[in-house]
Structure 1
Amino acid sequence: MSPRRTAAGGRIDRARTIRFTFDGKPMTGHLGDTLASALLAGGVTLVGRSFKYHRPRGVFAAGVDEPCALVTVIDGQAREPNVPATQIEIFDGLVVESQNRFPSLGFDLGAVNGLFGGLFSAGFYYKTFMGPVVGPLKGTRFWMLCEWFIRRAAGLGRAGDAKDAARYEKMNAFCDVLVVGSGPAGLMAAKAAAASGKRVMLAEQEPLFGGAARWSGETIDDAPAERWADEAVAELAGLDNVRLLPRTTVWGIYDGNTIAALERVTDHKASRARGEPRHRHWSIRAGKVVLATGALERPLVFPGNDRPGVMLARAAGRYAAEYGVLPGGRIAVFTNNDSAYRAAAALHRAGATIAAIVDVRAQVSAAASKLARETGAEHLTGHAVVDTAGRQRLRQITIRRFDAASGALSGAARRVEADCLAVSGGWSPAIHLASQAGAAARWDERLQAFLPPEPTGGWVGAGSFTGAFTTQEAIAQGLAAGAAAVGATPAASKPPQAGGPDLDVTPAPVFEIRAKGKAFVDLQHDVTAEDVRLAHREGFVSVEHLKRYTTLGMATDQGKTSNVPGLAIMADAAGRTIPQVGTTRFRPPYSAVSLGSLAAERHGELRPERLTPMHDWHIERGARMLAAGLWFRPQIYGQPGETVEQAYAREAAAVRAGVGIVDVSTLGKIAVQGPDAAAFLDRVYTNVFSSLPVNKARYGLMLREDGLAFDDGTTWRLGEHEFLMTTTTANAGKVMQHLEYFLDVVWPDLRVNLTSVTDQWAGAAVAGPKARDVLAACVARTGVDNEMLPFMGIVRGEIDGIPVTICRLSFSGELAYEVYCGAGHGLAMWEALMEAGKPFGIVPYGLEALGTLRIEKGHVTGSEIDGRTTARDLHLGWMLSKKKPFIGSAMMDREGLASPERLQLVGLVSLDNRAIANGAHIVEGKQPPDDPHGSIGHVTANCFSPALGRYVALALVKGGTSRHGTRAHISDPLRGRFGPVEIVSHHMFDPEGSRMHG
């Protein structure tokens, strides 16, 4: 038997031995163990090293709140770092390794940092590395000398670069009620809601439903709470209107009760069945949400509180009761509330010796005293732990008398031998989802905790989430919440009755024991109590500033254990109360979400592919395809031996000299119809569309409500009440949402219907001096001469018997036409155009050539309409109507949006005949290539221009128009590029526009 495994008890399957490796050492556990419980059972207490000081760290918690025992899971060549050992279910063949140590976990050279703890205080990096170097390297910033070493030392785990072979899925679901958390409150809420016949989903982040009741030792309806939970889950599982989601963490809540959740489908399996995903990401639209997320136990802050062997009291009790593991043989308990006594009793029943129960309170409840006597422990009220001892694991604790009211220590220190210290500093309701849903948390002085804000209508709370810490209260609240979620009256039948010791979990307002030595608030990031006080002395009075300056509660921890103690220490330093200091907002995700699940079905074989009707034709002609949003579009039609640059330069030159054709089927297309369609377009576009004649098109610009540019495109008037709006490929969905929002919410009285018709139309743009000749050779039933089809005019005709709609418009600067037909005829129309163009040397061209043509002409796309630019920044101020209001018109003239120093669109010409990379900065004067400063703008698009014979680019530059004709430098240290450029007008080719009007 393992050194710490109990003889009986727990939910593990002792008949099933599981073999895994930790740091290359073979180990065993049982089915049902987590990695943390299996390591503890094997006598392993040192699991990792801390972030800054590389101090020894062990298992501290038993769930998602684990801040210390973070490991890297290795699957073949793939590595997943920073996974809490408490959330890894072991399986045969599991391979894990510890983190942040060299050369080994037991002997880590990085631990030398602990000798310089006084230097590595909060803000160390900001204060040390930003200054200049003196001496021979004068002029070099200290950071530049140290960056390589610091980046090597940063972080905890090391991510791998091998391809992840796992499959990930996305799921969308709709339900009337989503219950988050499956403790007694969550189970009763799900049962009450399901009884109404409504669709109910129950999400639980643990493998088993039931929550803390499973290992509480309590009874419900005279049965062990564990059995009661099993029966409740079995009852729910048998209902057709209930869906149970174990191993599912709800990590975010968004507008309209849209819930984000991550289901770990196969992380607990040695192998996956064919097609089985590793993770499944859920987007759930719920009518109502019942939040029964429970509460997290807080630690106490005292010197030596980070030593392996120190852990949360509930975690210690859970390991004994659920996993049959004793975290130590001789255990001490340190608390400021009664809940730790329940853990002490569970540990004692499992066979551990309880050496002492240390309570900062002078008086405790009768129930707590009774449990203390049953454990046989020395019961020390009015005392505190002031230090711990032990090299790589706990060996001894030091205790002194303590006055909870004043925080004063007195009397002689006494030492108690213990290899585990279970601590409890009170409870913090897990209110992150309610906080994300809006409104500020409420401080409860009695519970010394932040409670959720008042429900907003989309959710209702139950159980310890609301501060109801007894099982009986949780059951009652769960029943009421489930009924309220479906608009029903709570059942009149008698609710289940819970039995157990009448413990008082109200904590004494004690968070820190101030004594000599390092006392850690954030165990993951080595943030000490003194760091918090230092931040206050240095002027960081906001909790958000405290978090960022000290790193308190960042990364995977997110303040689960450290938030409230840190706020308490900050409040004490400032002479304020905790509610006056406030708390940080809980931002999603509250716990780690795999990138694979977020990108599920958007890459590789599972990526949805939108293909134009001409896709196969492109492939057969040697096109190299490029993803553009969800679409695939030709990048180039390469010839043997050609580079991408050579191919697009050839294609673009052919368009300028003769004629080319490009597939534009992917452009967003929205049918805008109805009696108020013209008035609606006047409101959403900056320019006027109600005056547009039938069978004419107009270029339009949309702004956001804040006055910044949103999208551009052409809209065609096909009838008095019928328009066809085109958008950029990437923005089609966003524009549709934008329009629908204003119709549904702002102007519901307008009689307008919107229909996305992107997939219904295939399109080709024919451009170049010979474009009209090509159309004249194949278009029937209409003329395409200048009189019949003027600039921005629309005609209808046929190509090889296929009905087509043609608009004369140009984004290339050449005489050009867009030809549309039904998608089913797209390929036939394309081939007919190609056949008609043969005598004129027609060439197909791809996205690179398309971009080159538009860069030469200075046309903007998403690279310039990036959410930060205005119409005037892009020289589109002429499109801002003074005759009507429109979306964004009230905000577009704000002082900050009218400054002459704003970034404005310009052209750049390379003066050293080298390419200019997107994202490169533009600086004035000559500067060191490796340390540029004083950026005046950045590059948004670049190409080699065959028309100009130079490398050119578009850029956004401060006061851009006033700089035309001046010189600057491109600074791109990451790519090693530094060179001279000339700033010119963005209209670099045919600025008069004579070619497109030919």
Structure 2
Amino acid sequence: MTQAFRLAKGGRIDRARTLSFSFDGKSYAAHPGDTLASALLANGVHLVGRSFKYHRPRGILTAGGEEPNALVGVGRDDAHYTPNLRATQVELYDGLSAESQNRSPSLAHDYAAINDVFWRFIPSGFYYKTFMWPRKAWTKFFEPRIREMAGLGRSPKTPDAACYAQRFAHCDVLIIGAGPAGLAAALAAAKTGVRVVLCDEQAEPGGSLLAEPDAMIEGMSAARWLQGALAQLASCKNVRILPRTIAFGYFPHNMIGLAQSLTSHEGERDDAQPRGRLWQVRAKQVVIAAGAIERPLVFPDNDRPGIMLAEAARIYLERYGVLPGQRALIFTAHDGAYRTALALHRAGCEITGIVDLRPDASGPWVEAARKAGLPIHAGATVTGTEGRLRITGASIAPIKGGSSQRVSCDTLLMSGGFTPSVHLFSQSRGKLVFDATLDAFLPGAPAEACRVAGSAAGLASLKEVLDSGAAAAGAAASHQVTNAPAEHGGFIGVVPYHGDPGSVRAFLDYQNDVTAKDVMLALREGMHSVEHVKRFTTNGMATDQGKLSNMNALAIMSAALRKPVQAIGTTTFRMPYTPVPFGYFAGYARGELFEPERRTAIHGWAAEQGAVFEDVSLWKRARYFPRGAEDMHKAVARECAAVRQGVGIFDASTLGKIEVVGPDAAEFLNRMYINAWTKLAPGKLRYGILLREDGFIIDDGVIGRISDTRFHVTTTTGGAARVLGMMEDYLQTEFPELNVWLTSTTEQYAVIAVQGPKAREVVAPLVEGADVSAEALAHMSMVECRVAGVPARLFRVSFTGELGFEINVPADHGRAVWEALMAQGRAHGITPYGTETMHVLRAEKGYIIVGQETDGTVTPDDVGYAGMIGKAKPDFVGKRALARKAFAEQTNRKQLVGLLTDNPAQLLDEGAHIVADPNQPKPMTMLGHVTSSYWSETLGRSIALALLRDGRARTGERLHVPLTTGSVRVTVVSPVFYDPEGTRLNG
């Protein structure tokens, strides 16, 4: 296919090879080294998208990451599809398939463009006022339709087939940006021997030097100097260069997030190879050399396809050998646009005029343009443009008044000067200062160990940029603390011009269709804060985060409010600097690795028996074991009856387990838990409560003393890591004098609970080396022995209220011991039961579960455990909090109680509130809430546990629980529903 706008020579593309790609189903040709944007321009394609709100035609505006218009979806199928990629950053590869977005059915014919006809009726903020009445209309009619229209691109319906890697790294100096300043910084830092990481978002390091065929550095061409610099850096073992890498976020303590594309430029070849890598780099010093962003001009209808930034046009010409058009009109307030005009003129593009806002434009570039015979209109402006799907002409007129004239063109190139890229510096919490000469914000005092170099610091000439990069790296390598603002000569010829807010429609934010009139409307509505204006108009909320629009909006606000720009300030620059695909953040955490499943040694056996599993923390636990067509209710009723009448077996392996060892182990536990531990004899167990510093329960568990210097501590399933971390924290920071060692043994032991009146008949025949009779092994005792030939720690403990044993064996032998117990218990009707049955059995006995009967505001006294507190203990975690006057005097604390419904078959909803009078006016006075609610097969009725204000004093009182089906009357009772004397613990 003919590439009408590709020059016969020039650029850095590989003309020896031709690539084929498609855009919206149409095939085109390109060359290696092209971006999708340059390839489209080479084929004469300017129309690439539609705007978000009005669906106006949009064309390629820039050549970098700040592109707001050319957003495309790339990928051959849903599994390899990525939406909202910038065509200016998508590297061409053979077979690339791209599609435009935000249009239906096509770019040329978009039905939603009808919005543009009614633009006067849908200004900024119209939805705040239009869709609020009638109230139900919003949720039933407006919201679904607005949500259907909202968004950019389409979300793939299948998971991303590619994988993404993640990596941590440390360095002495991280340099962000491999343009002239960044390269000079890297060369200077490399000579000092420090570890250097140099990253750049482009495929090829060099930055602006890649489009500088005439520049000279150290007596050689820019291209030759660049080649030598890269060769020198490549030979340095202390330097790592990361191309195709975006520094998207600056986090505290010099942590920088980098997103590196690894294979996207090669096509979808091998899904096993990471498509990208997320780097988390901790740097001692950071040098930001992110360059500057050309600023667009604000004039009527400045958004048509074919309107482009002047510097972007020069980059497409010099780097990619592409003419953006055949007849170009230049509109500028900056000398750099003259440079673009001259370059295009030499390449054969007709320059139909240079419209310069400055009446006294002068200087070398201006004189060179005059000498070349280019028509210059000084002190003039563009008053409008023409064209539907591409610009065909523009009207120009003197600023001070006079007749306008039409100029024919197929491209309009604009330049309002340059804005230093301060986003990452601002993310680091560095302070910005406004420079009136540049009409821009510059980096000021840093908050982190970083410094800014080159154009990002407001420097203009190539020599200044190179010198600042070398100086910044030298200071960083020597760890100088100060970072004085750079001296700069300024971007030559900048004139702050931001258009006439009274213009018909002069666009600021191209993606969101925000105009100068919208900003003025926001000011009239009383929104004088820049953050309020941003949210009312959505200016700066597009995917470019205001890189092109913010300074123009600030200037309009400044003029309207008669306040200097620095007094208005800027909006917050948030990460990511440019959008990053979610896959980078997910990394390896996908599929089974997104939330890793932990399985016990007995999991396989349970699965073979048809168990239904539930997620508890990260563990898969058998919830119940249905037989035949049983539902959960029937299965749980059967399991409960089996435990109460015979014997049941339960997998408790998920309990957290911590080995606490050392001469001071007892003293350590004494300081951590509310109970006393120093006098607990070896071979005995004790139930322990752990508090936070504020006196509220954080965990509980049974603790066994193996010997004078060793304890076996159990925790809740979900609290294992939390408790171990808390113990380590206190051991290292509060009790460093104690000789104690902590080891997590959760995965080392399988725990099998055998519960019920016949439990001893099942366990005893398999025990070797211990007497498990009632006289020898009393309740809350333990012994080390062998069970089924396997070394074990045998606890006599119960969470069901029945005679019970918990057998701790090495996890590798867990299933074998389980199967031996099942075989031994078959004659006694042994029944496996799951977590749902365990919950019912423990609730019947009033045993709490931390996180269910506690909510982070519950003390030991609230659940009836005040008697467990060691009165003679001088201290323990949370003791001071429990002694606070507020706890002692507060009489309406929620306390654990039981609830019985008037209708025995009525089940309460967990979390339901409790009130005294269901007919009281709303909002009702809530007395408490239901924490647990079950059907008790043993009692033949429903039961519930609750936290109730002054609960123990309300025993016998009749209260109400409002449910969706109506109010339910309940009676407050003891939380122990079954065997309150505890006689069944002994069988």
TM interval, shorter chain, is 0.7 to 0.9
Residue matched to 2:22: 21
Which of 76, 84, 87 is matched with 1:85 structurally? 87
What residue identity is the alignment partner of 1:369? Answer: V
Residue matched to 2:98: 96
What residue identity is the alignment partner of 1:238? Answer: S
Give the C-alpha shift of residue 318 in structure 1: 1.5
1:425-824 equivalence runs, <5 A: 425-452=416-443, 454-487=445-478, 504-505=491-492, 507-554=494-541, 556-604=543-591, 610-623=598-611, 631-634=619-622, 637=625, 639=627, 654-655=642-643, 658-671=646-659, 687=674, 693=680, 696-701=685-690, 703=692, 726=714, 729=717, 732-733=720-721, 754-767=742-755, 771=759, 774-782=762-770, 795-806=783-794, 818-824=806-812
The question of 1:252 aligning with 2:246 is answered no
Which of 404, 410, 424 is matched with 2:415 structurally? 424
What residue identity is the alignment partner of 2:151? Answer: G
The question of 1:319 aligning with 2:316 is answered yes
* Distance (whole Å) between structure 2 residues aligned to residue 903 and residue 598 of structure 1: 44
Are the equivalent residues in 1 in contact too, given 2:65–2:86 (CA < 8 A)?
Answer: yes
Residue matched to 1:107: 109
Query: What does the per-residue CA deviation read over 1:393-432, in whole Å, with 9 as the maximum and x for residues that have no partner?
Result: 2222333444xxxxxx644333332222223334343333
Are the equivalent residues in 1 in contact too, given 2:278–2:584 (CA < 8 A)?
Answer: yes
Residue matched to 1:45: 46
Residue matched to 1:290: 287
Q: 1:673 to 1:258 in 2, by over 3 A?
A: farther
* Distance (whole Å) between structure 2 residues aligned to residue 990 and residue 69 of structure 1: 68
Residue matched to 1:405: none
Are the equivalent residues in 1 in contact too, given 2:459–2:489 (CA < 8 A)?
Answer: no
Deviates more, 1:202-211 or 1:457-466: 457-466
Query: What does the per-residue CA deviation read over 1:728-764, in whole Å, with 9 as the maximum and x for residues that have no partner?
Result: 5556556656666677778878876554444344334
* Distance (whole Å) between structure 2 residues aligned to residue 195 and residue 673 of structure 1: 52
Specify the SS of the correspondent of 1:250.
strand
* Distance (whole Å) between structure 1 residues aligned to residue 157 and residue 666 of structure 2: 53
Are the equivalent residues in 1 in contact too, given 2:454–2:464 (CA < 8 A)?
Answer: yes
Are the equivalent residues in 1 in contact too, given 2:198–2:239 (CA < 8 A)?
Answer: yes
Query: What does the per-residue CA deviation read over 1:284-304, in whole Å, with 9 as the maximum and x for residues that have no partner?
Result: 344443333333333233321
* Distance (whole Å) between structure 2 residues aligned to residue 237 and residue 938 of structure 1: 67
Give the C-alpha shift of residue 97 in structure 1: 1.8
* Distance (whole Å) between structure 2 residues aligned to residue 228 and residue 809 of structure 1: 78
Deviates more, 1:43-52 or 1:634-643: 634-643
Query: What does the per-residue CA deviation read over 1:780-808, in whole Å, with 9 as the maximum and x for residues that have no partner?
Result: 55566778767766554432343433556
What residue identity is the alignment partner of 1:127? Answer: K
* Distance (whole Å) between structure 2 residues aligned to residue 207 and residue 263 of structure 1: 10
State the identity %: 44
Q: 1:648 to 1:862 in 2, by over 3 A?
A: same
The question of 1:968 aligning with 2:962 is answered yes
* Distance (whole Å) between structure 2 residues aligned to residue 870 and residue 216 of structure 1: 66
The question of 1:121 aligning with 2:118 is answered no
What residue identity is the alignment partner of 1:509? Answer: P
* Distance (whole Å) between structure 2 residues aligned to residue 189 and residue 934 of structure 1: 67
Residue matched to 1:155: 151
Give the C-alpha shift of residue 712 in structure 1: 6.2
* Distance (whole Å) between structure 2 residues aligned to residue 550 and residue 306 of structure 1: 17
* Distance (whole Å) between structure 1 residues aligned to residue 832 and residue 574 of structure 2: 48
Are the equivalent residues in 1 in contact too, given 2:176–2:182 (CA < 8 A)?
Answer: yes
Give the C-alpha shift of residue 158 in structure 1: 1.8
Give the C-alpha shift of residue 2 in structure 1: 1.0
1:155-174 equivalence runs, <5 A: 155-174=151-170
Give the C-alpha shift of residue 677 in structure 1: 7.0
Q: 1:258 to 1:801 in 2, by over 3 A?
A: farther
* Distance (whole Å) between structure 2 residues aligned to residue 226 and residue 894 of structure 1: 77
The question of 1:190 aligning with 2:193 is answered no
Q: 1:483 to 1:109 in 2, by over 3 A?
A: same
What residue identity is the alignment partner of 2:421? Answer: A
Specify the SS of the correspondent of 2:7.
coil
Specify the SS of the correspondent of 1:380.
strand
Are the equivalent residues in 1 in contact too, given 2:355–2:378 (CA < 8 A)?
Answer: yes
Give the C-alpha shift of residue 310 in structure 1: 2.0
* Distance (whole Å) between structure 1 residues aligned to residue 894 and residue 307 of structure 2: 56
Give the C-alpha shift of residue 827 in structure 1: 3.8
Unpaired runs of at least 5, structure 2 = 482-487
Query: What does the per-residue CA deviation read over 1:11-31, in whole Å, with 9 as the maximum and x for residues that have no partner?
Result: 222232222222222222222
Specify the SS of the correspondent of 1:251.
strand
Q: 1:700 to 1:580 in 2, by over 3 A?
A: farther
Give the C-alpha shift of residue 596 in structure 1: 2.7
| Alignment: residue pair count | 960
Are the equivalent residues in 2 in contact too, given 1:638–1:644 (CA < 8 A)?
Answer: yes
* Distance (whole Å) between structure 2 residues aligned to residue 888 and residue 58 of structure 1: 68
Residue matched to 1:279: 276
Are the equivalent residues in 1 in contact too, given 2:915–2:961 (CA < 8 A)?
Answer: no
* Distance (whole Å) between structure 1 residues aligned to residue 143 and residue 903 of structure 2: 33
Q: 1:289 to 1:576 in 2, by over 3 A?
A: same
Are the equivalent residues in 2 in contact too, given 1:968–1:983 (CA < 8 A)?
Answer: no
Per the normalisation by structure 2, the TM-score is: 0.82
Q: 1:401 to 1:254 in 2, by over 3 A?
A: same
Specify the SS of the correspondent of 2:264.
coil
Q: 1:861 to 1:415 in 2, by over 3 A?
A: farther
Q: 1:204 to 1:834 in 2, by over 3 A?
A: farther
* Distance (whole Å) between structure 2 residues aligned to residue 924 and residue 423 of structure 1: 72
Residue matched to 1:63: 64
Are the equivalent residues in 2 in contact too, given 1:334–1:357 (CA < 8 A)?
Answer: yes
Are the equivalent residues in 1 in contact too, given 2:301–2:506 (CA < 8 A)?
Answer: yes
Give the C-alpha shift of residue 112 in structure 1: 1.3
Query: What does the per-residue CA deviation read over 1:98-118, in whole Å, with 9 as the maximum and x for residues that have no partner?
Result: 222222221112111122223
Specify the SS of the correspondent of 1:763.
strand
Q: 1:189 to 1:416 in 2, by over 3 A?
A: same
Unpaired runs of at least 5, structure 1 = 134-139, 403-408, 491-500, 927-931, 971-977
Are the equivalent residues in 1 in contact too, given 2:256–2:282 (CA < 8 A)?
Answer: yes
Deviates more, 1:369-378 or 1:113-122: 369-378
* Distance (whole Å) between structure 2 residues aligned to residue 877 and residue 580 of structure 1: 60
Q: 1:837 to 1:375 in 2, by over 3 A?
A: farther
Deviates more, 1:659-668 or 1:263-272: 659-668
The question of 1:220 aligning with 2:217 is answered yes
The question of 1:328 aligning with 2:325 is answered yes
Residue matched to 1:495: none
Query: What does the per-residue CA deviation read over 1:82-105, in whole Å, with 9 as the maximum and x for residues that have no partner?
Result: 222222222232222222222222
Per the normalisation by structure 1, the TM-score is: 0.82
Residue matched to 1:267: 264
Query: What does the per-residue CA deviation read over 1:836-858, in whole Å, with 9 as the maximum and x for residues that have no partner?
Result: 54444444445565566678868
* Distance (whole Å) between structure 2 residues aligned to residue 363 and residue 278 of structure 1: 52
Which structure would you say has the larger Rg?
Answer: 2
Q: 1:367 to 1:514 in 2, by over 3 A?
A: farther
